[in-house]
Structure 1
Amino acid sequence: MSTSAQDPKSSESITPVRWGVLGASNFALKVSLPSMWRGPLTQLAALASRDIGKARAAAESLGIPKAYGSYDELLDDPEIEAVYIPLPNHLHVKWSARAARAGKHVLCEKPIALSAKDAAALVDVQHETGKRIAEAFMVRYHPQWQQARDWVRSGRIGELVSVQAAFSYFNRDATNIRNREQVGGGALYDIGCYAVNTSRLLFGREPVRAMVLVERDPEFGTDRLTSGLLDYGGAHLTFTCSTQAVAYQRVNALGTKGRIEIEIPFNAPADRPCKIFLDDGSTLNCSSAKVTSFPVVDQYHLQSEAFSRAIRTGSPIENSIEVAVGNMRVIDALFRSAESRRWEKI
């Protein structure tokens, strides 16, 4: 690992940020951490698990030099500057706050909290500590989403009036945390949050009310099929997410003069190019759609590099804790709607 790297936005060299990791989940070991390790600004320096044997095995597999048998031990390490938190959802607020108060910047997996109130508490912690706290919505760093946002802002599809999103997979493993209600499992927290986050990105404003229909698993109690509607004031998001349906994802953004379709919007592959479509609607069989392909990129790599750069330079964070609070306000309203069976204000 090099000791410095070039900032693509300047000629100044930037010292890599020394990161610690709380937890050794399969997702972290197989997806996010290998991607972070490849970044010249991101130096994975330590990993902690409540099981020291698991921590050592995980650290060794990734070439991470230090392993700790408790999260607090890692937070006590004065060499660690930033912490990545891929713990179960119900632990996010607790350990994000502890990490910041231990003097570490925090990048926490989504959802960063299970309510807007708890997310807002982390805004207070950020102000208290001066440490940056962000929610890990890696999709915002992928160039396909940045291009889609630029097209909307520049009026390439006219006025954006509707975003339609679908995201699903099939998982009925009772031991999987996504199927455990008490730790924040279920479709809306796990994947529906992407539809909320990216629609807010494209519209560039907050929705005013929400309505949802929820089907819960009779054994797990989690929402296994959730379909929602957000009112952006004359424009809408409609979405369906499911933990018990065929694996699929797609986003369509409909404007008054055209549409944008994102083929693999959320789990964008890191080993092959991605493509999105810009269609003027002149044909109904989509033959009028023009394809834009993007070079191979890894959105987890881009995310950690951007966060490391923000720590060193003070540059803005794409998905700050304030943005995260906005997402949780919407999710709170959707869950309220599931109970009230009516529109809920956000």
Structure 2
Amino acid sequence: MKKKLRIGILGCANIAEKYAIGAFKSLPAVELVAIASREKGKAEAWAARHELEAESYDSLIARDDIDVIYSPLPVGLQEEWAVRAAAAGKHMICEKSITYSLDSAKGMVDAFKQNGLALYENFAPEFQPQHGKVLSLIKEGAIGTPHVWSGQYGFPPFPKGDIRYSSELKGGSLNDCGCYTVFMARKILQAEPVAVTCTLSNDGAEVDIKGSALLEFPHAGALMAFGFDHLYQNTYSVWGSKGMVRTDRAFAIPPTFVSTVELITNDGSHESRETFAIPAANRFALSFGFFCKAVAANDTDAIQDMYEALMRQAAVMEAMRVSAREGRRVVL
């Protein structure tokens, strides 16, 4: 019988309780063992609630019976603890954004490469089936040549003191929600941008609370907006020469939610709309399952792809920061 991968969670974050714990427990080849907090009482309370073992950050990483660390820590803490995990021989899943700069991402990848370990940036929406439907419609020619990807992801203001507003923890709308629009534009257009123009606004806050960007691809463009001061939006569309395809929910989708993809065509005199129901899916379980399968099989090609994927994302995010800071178009 194959040994199960043993998982420890580094931090009592909302996303861990809402999605990650249940997702890990649903995977037959995985055993979720422990959860850590800097506060002993909090770790013990969460551990009791979810039938896990309580640890501190240091003691979790030091355990020799843990194979994988899952980190939902704030962006500004990921690098420190990832490097420590790599030194301790642990594979790691980090929630997006995995870090706050291209140099930081390079350092993290190097630490895991040197130790022959997997490092994965968890963009769980990649595994939602509606994106496969969008890609198949584009491939079939249903919208003709895709010209413009357009996406919006944003929320009403969070409570005062939320970690997303902390500059020390590298919060901000680009790192928190803008990253999803960047990731999905690249996935759907099946290419990397050649230039970016980005604006970020703080409106008196420590961090950017809203932003927008144009990503130029070799044969298309992507327009995106994101922020913490908005009507809730969670969607994208692709506008082509013959039609448009769009999602109702794109980035954050509950495991039981049945989403839709709409195809719109118009020849100038008649408009046609077709709606496709997309089965519900647990994006976290699918993403974690992908990672754990690669680690269990020691699939070095898949692990190398993980390094390269997070570096490509980090390169675009860095270009966006430079563009916003310097007020110019940045060529990649």
TM-score bracket, normalised by the shorter chain, equals over 0.9
Counterpart selection for 2:48 from 52, 60, 69 = 60
Counterpart selection for 1:34 from 10, 13, 22 = 22
Distance 2:147 2:3 in 1: 44
- Output aligned runs, 1:231-246, within 5 Å: 231-246=216-231
SS in 2 for 1:322: helix
1:321-345 CA-partner distances (Å, limit 9, x unpaired): 3211111211111121112222112
CA contact (8 A) 1:231 1:237 kept: yes
Residue 5 of structure 2 corresponds to 17
Counterpart selection for 1:329 from 315, 323, 330 = 315
Is 1:320 the equivalent of 2:306?
yes
Is 1:255 the equivalent of 2:240?
yes
- Output aligned runs, 1:261-340, within 5 Å: 261-282=246-267, 288-315=272-299, 316=302, 320-340=306-326
Task: Give the RMSD, CA atoms, in angstroms.
Answer: 2.1
Farther off after superposition, 309-318 or 157-166: 309-318
Gaps of 5+ in 2: none
Counterpart selection for 1:45 from 13, 30, 33 = 33
SS in 2 for 1:221: coil
Farther off after superposition, 30-39 or 226-235: 30-39
Aligned length: 330
Residue 129 of structure 2 corresponds to 143
Counterpart selection for 1:111 from 97, 104, 129 = 97
Distance 2:189 2:269 in 1: 25
Distance 2:58 2:108 in 1: 19
- Output aligned runs, 1:74-153, within 5 Å: 74-153=60-139
Residue 164 of structure 1 corresponds to 150
SS in 1 for 2:218: coil
Instruction: Evaluate the alpha carbon distance shift between residue 281 and residue 309 of structure 1 in structure 2; reply closer, same or farther with a 3 A threshold.
Output: farther
Gaps of 5+ in 1: 5-13
CA contact (8 A) 1:166 1:250 kept: yes
Deviation of 1:15 (Å): 4.2
Q: Which letter maps to 2:236?
A: V
Q: Which letter maps to 1:299?
A: R
Residue 10 of structure 1 corresponds to none
CA contact (8 A) 1:16 1:42 kept: yes
Stretches (4+) displaced over 4 A: 282-285
Identical amino acids, percent of aligned pairs: 28
Farther off after superposition, 232-241 or 154-163: 154-163
Distance 2:105 2:254 in 1: 29
CA contact (8 A) 1:258 1:279 kept: yes
- Output aligned runs, 1:181-200, within 5 Å: 181-200=167-186
Query: Could you tell me the TM-score, scaled by structure 1's length?
Result: 0.89
1:65-114 CA-partner distances (Å, limit 9, x unpaired): x211x212111111111110001111111211221221111110011110
Q: Which letter maps to 1:52?
A: K
Residue 8 of structure 1 corresponds to none
Query: Could you tell me the TM-score, scaled by structure 2's length?
Result: 0.93
CA contact (8 A) 1:122 1:321 kept: no
- Output aligned runs, 1:203-242, within 5 Å: 203-218=189-204, 220-242=205-227
Instruction: Evaluate the alpha carbon distance shift between residue 284 and residue 163 of structure 1 in structure 2; reply closer, same or farther with a 3 A threshold.
Output: farther
